[in-house]
Structure 1
Amino acid sequence: MERRTFLGGVAALGFAGPAFAQKGGAPEKTSVRLGVGGKPLLYYLPLTVAERKGLFKEEGLDVEINDFGGGAKSLQSLIGGSVDVVTGAYEHTIRMQAKNQKIQAVCELGRFPAIVIAVKKSLAGEIKSPADFKGRKIGVTAPGSSTAITAQYAMVKSGLKPTDAAFIGIGGGAGAVAAVKKGEIEVISHLDPVISKLDGDGDIQIMIDTRTEAGTKALFGGSNPAAVVYAKHDFIASHPNTMQRIVNAHVKALKWLASATPEQVADLVPPEYHLGDKPLYLRAVKNSLESYSRTGIIPLSGMESVLDMLRRLDPALADAKIDLAATFDDRFVKAAGS
C-alpha cells in the first residue's frame, strides 16, 4: 500500500496539534499496569511507539508494561487483577462477554490480524493447505491466543476440527525463530518480525497472509480487527480520565506511525527487536504498515467477522447471545480526535 493512502486514512482521526495531550481531565489513577502478549511483535508496535516516544508521560501517566508469553496470558492477568489495561486481540472481549465478564475495547490498533500461517519449507511438499494440519505441531505465541485461533479457523474452513492439531506456545521473539530452526514445530502461525526473519532465511513457505487487506479477505471474507486496547468495564467506568489519556497516547502513536519511515521505526524500538537482522526488520515494518488502524474505531462488519469466526470454533459461543455494541466503547477515540 502506498504511504499517501495510509496517510489519507489516518487523517480521518482528526488529530489535533500540541494541545492534544490535554484531552481528558485529571487522571484518577496515574500509575497504570498494562499487559501485553509479545511486545516485540509488530502487532503491538503502536504500544512500543507510545512507550518509546514518551507519549504516556505526556499524558501524565506512569505506565508499567508487563510482557507475557501471549495474548491469552495477558487476558488472564487482567481478569486476575494484576494489570489494569491490556493491549491484545479484540476477540477476547467477545469471549469474556459470553462468560459474563464485561471487558471492553476502547481503541483499535490493528484493522487486519497481520498473522501469517506458514509451513516449514522442508515439509512444504507434504503440508500443502490447512487440510493437512491434522496431527501436526503448530507453533503459536501461546495456546488460546489470536495466533492459535486464526490457525484453528483455517483448519475448520478446510474441514478439520480445531483440536486436530497440537498447538505449542513458542512466545513472540527469538525463541519463536529458534523453535522453527530446531524443528520443534512443523507449522507456524505468527507475526512479524518473526515471520519476515524466517521467510528471509528461507526456513518457511507462507500459506496464509493476513498482513494485507487482500489476505485478510481471502481467509475471513472481510475485515477482521486485531490488536485493541481493552479493560474491564468497571475500571473504564471508574477511571474515565485515565482511560482517555491511555487512548490519547495510542492515537498519537498511530499518527506518528502514519508519517514515520521504516528506518525511523527501527531506530525507535529496542535493538533486540530486530532479531539480529535490521534489514529484515525494515522489510517487516513495510509489510505491516497496511495492517494498522486508520480510525481507531472498530467497524461493525469487523466485529461481526470475529464473532462468526469464534462461533465456528467454540461450541460454547455457537448459540450465545452477544451484544457486539457492548464490546467496544468508541467515546475515547472520538474525544481524542475532536
Structure 2
Amino acid sequence: MLHRRTLISASAVAAAAIALPRVFAQQAKLEKSKVSIAVGGKAAFYYLPLTISEQLGYFKAEGLEVEISDFAGGARALQAVVGGSADVCSGAYEHTINLQAKNQFFQAFVLQGRAPQIAVGVSTKNLAGYTGIQDLKGKKIGVSAPGSSTNMVANLVLSRGGLKASDVSFIGVGVAAGALTALRSGQIDAISNTDPVMTMLEQKGDVKIISDTRTLKGTEQVFGGPMPAACLYAPTDFVLKHPNTCQALANAIVRGLKWLQTAGPGDIIKTVPETYLLGDRALYLASFDKVRESIATDGLVPAEGPKTALNAIASFDTAVKADKIDLAKTYTNDFAKRAKDRFKA
C-alpha cells in the first residue's frame, strides 16, 4: 500500500514538474508583466470594457499586473503615454491619426467601442431659444478635456453648422459629477460628453440633444460610416517590442467584451464601482441600455472604420492631410483576432 502511495506521489510530482514549467514559461513570455494604462474618464461607459476586465480579474488571469491611472479626458491620458509615465492608453482611436499627422506613430491593438458614445446637447436654461448651430457662436461648450474625443465630435458638429472651433470656448468638465454640475449651474452653455452623464442630463430635462453617436445608427448619421472609438493603443515601438504583453492585454479586453454580451443589469451594478453610478442606479442602467450596442463585440477594428475617422478629422482639422496618413500603421487586428479565436467572442 505504501509502495503504491509512493508511486502515486512520485507520479503526481512528475506530472507537476512537467506542468509547472509550462505555466511559468507562459508567464515568462510576457516581455513586461507590470503595465501602466492611462485612461481619460474611466467611469464613462466609453471605457466599460476596461473596467470589467479589471474588476473581474481578467488582466491578472493573463499574468499581468495592471495599474490604471485615470485622467480628466483622453487628451491628458495621451500626454501621460507620450511623456513616458504610462505604457498604454485606453482612449479614442482617432488619436492615432492625429499623432501620425505630427509624425508620432501609435497603434491601436484592441477595440473597446464601435461607436463614440458621445452626444452633444445645449442647455435648456442658457439656450432656451436654441434654433441651430449658429446660436453656439461665442458660447462655452463643456468637453471632457480639450483635445479629447468629446472635443473632436463637438468640432465636427460645429463645422457642419458653419462654425469653427475658434468661434466657441471649450471648457474641460470631466465625465462625471463635475460635468453635471457645470451644465446645471450655468457655467457652460452646451456640452459634448459620454454616458451616463448625457442620459442623466437628458432625462432631467437639462439639455436638448442636437447630435448623438450613442447608437450605431446615430454614428452612421453623424460620421457617414462605422467609427472605431475606445481602444487600447500604444507607441508602435512598444507594440513591436512587447507583442506577448499586448496579446495578454487584448486577451483580457476581449474576454471582458464577451462577458458584456450576455451581462444583465444586475451583473453590471455588482461589477462596477459604486461611484460610477453617480448616485442614481436606475439612470445608470438606462444609460447602459442606450449605449450597449455601441460596445465592441470581438475587439476588431472594422475595415472601413479608420477611413471614416480620417475623413471626419480632415473635414475640420487642417493639420491633418488625408493623403499623408497611412491608416494601416494606425491599428492592427492581429492581437484581437487571436483573442477572438481563443475566447470564441
Rg larger for: 2
Question: Which deviations, in whole Å up to 9, do the C-alpha atoms of 1:89-135 show, x marking residues without a partner?
Answer: 00010111111111000011111111010111124543233332211
State the Cα distance separating 1:28 from its structure 2 match.
1.0
| Identical pairs, percent | 46
Which residue of structure 2 aligns with residue 203 of structure 1?
206
Secondary structure of residue in 2 paired with 1:184 = coil
Counterpart contact for 1:27–1:241, Cα < 8 Å? yes
1:144 has 2:136 as partner: no
Secondary structure of residue in 2 paired with 1:211 = coil
State the Cα distance separating 1:337 from its structure 2 match.
2.1
Q: What one-letter code is carried by the residue in structure 2 that aligns with 1:333? A: A
| C-alpha distance in 1 between matches for 2:314 and 2:226 | 17
Which residue of structure 1 aligns with residue 312 of structure 2?
309
State the Cα distance separating 1:23 from its structure 2 match.
8.7
State the Cα distance separating 1:320 from its structure 2 match.
5.4
Counterpart contact for 2:179–2:197, Cα < 8 Å? yes
State the Cα distance separating 1:294 from its structure 2 match.
2.6
Find 2:160's aligned residue among 154, 157, 161.
Answer: 157
State the Cα distance separating 1:50 from its structure 2 match.
0.6
Counterpart contact for 1:104–1:327, Cα < 8 Å? yes
State the Cα distance separating 1:63 from its structure 2 match.
0.3
Question: Which deviations, in whole Å up to 9, do the C-alpha atoms of 1:55-107 show, x marking residues without a partner?
Answer: 10001111000001100011111111000011100001011111111100001
Which residue of structure 2 aligns with residue 270 of structure 1?
273
Secondary structure of residue in 2 paired with 1:332 = helix
State the Cα distance separating 1:167 from its structure 2 match.
0.5
Q: What one-letter code is carried by the residue in structure 1 that aligns with 2:249? A: I
Deviates more, 1:235-244 or 1:307-316: 307-316
Distance 1:246 1:36, change over 3 A: same
1:85 has 2:75 as partner: no
Secondary structure of residue in 1 paired with 2:125 = helix
Counterpart contact for 2:257–2:298, Cα < 8 Å? no
1:220 has 2:223 as partner: yes
Which residue of structure 2 aligns with residue 172 of structure 1?
175
1:186 has 2:175 as partner: no
Higher relative contact order (CA 8 A, sep 6+): 1
| C-alpha distance in 1 between matches for 2:87 and 2:46 | 20
TM-score computed with the length of structure 1 as normaliser: 0.91
Secondary structure of residue in 1 paired with 2:38 = strand
| C-alpha distance in 2 between matches for 1:25 and 1:157 | 52
Q: What one-letter code is carried by the residue in structure 2 that aligns with 1:113? A: P
| C-alpha distance in 1 between matches for 2:181 and 2:322 | 40
Counterpart contact for 1:243–1:332, Cα < 8 Å? yes
| C-alpha distance in 1 between matches for 2:49 and 2:131 | 34
Distance 1:224 1:25, change over 3 A: farther
Unmatched segments (≥5 aa) in structure 1: 1-21
TM-score computed with the length of structure 2 as normaliser: 0.89
Matches within 5 A, 1:1-338: 26-318=29-321, 321-338=324-341
Pairwise CA RMSD: 1.5
Distance 1:188 1:332, change over 3 A: same
| C-alpha distance in 2 between matches for 1:328 and 1:101 | 14
| C-alpha distance in 2 between matches for 1:40 and 1:319 | 33
| C-alpha distance in 2 between matches for 1:313 and 1:287 | 28
State the Cα distance separating 1:270 from its structure 2 match.
0.7
Q: What one-letter code is carried by the residue in structure 1 that aligns with 2:149? A: S
Unmatched segments (≥5 aa) in structure 2: 1-24
Count, aligned residues = 317
Q: What one-letter code is carried by the residue in structure 2 that aligns with 1:122? A: K
| C-alpha distance in 2 between matches for 1:23 and 1:53 | 21
| C-alpha distance in 1 between matches for 2:69 and 2:61 | 20
Secondary structure of residue in 1 paired with 2:188 = coil
Secondary structure of residue in 2 paired with 1:163 = helix
Secondary structure of residue in 1 paired with 2:89 = strand
Counterpart contact for 2:106–2:236, Cα < 8 Å? yes
Secondary structure of residue in 2 paired with 1:51 = helix
Distance 1:124 1:217, change over 3 A: farther
Counterpart contact for 1:108–1:293, Cα < 8 Å? yes
| C-alpha distance in 2 between matches for 1:262 and 1:128 | 37
State the Cα distance separating 1:262 from its structure 2 match.
2.0
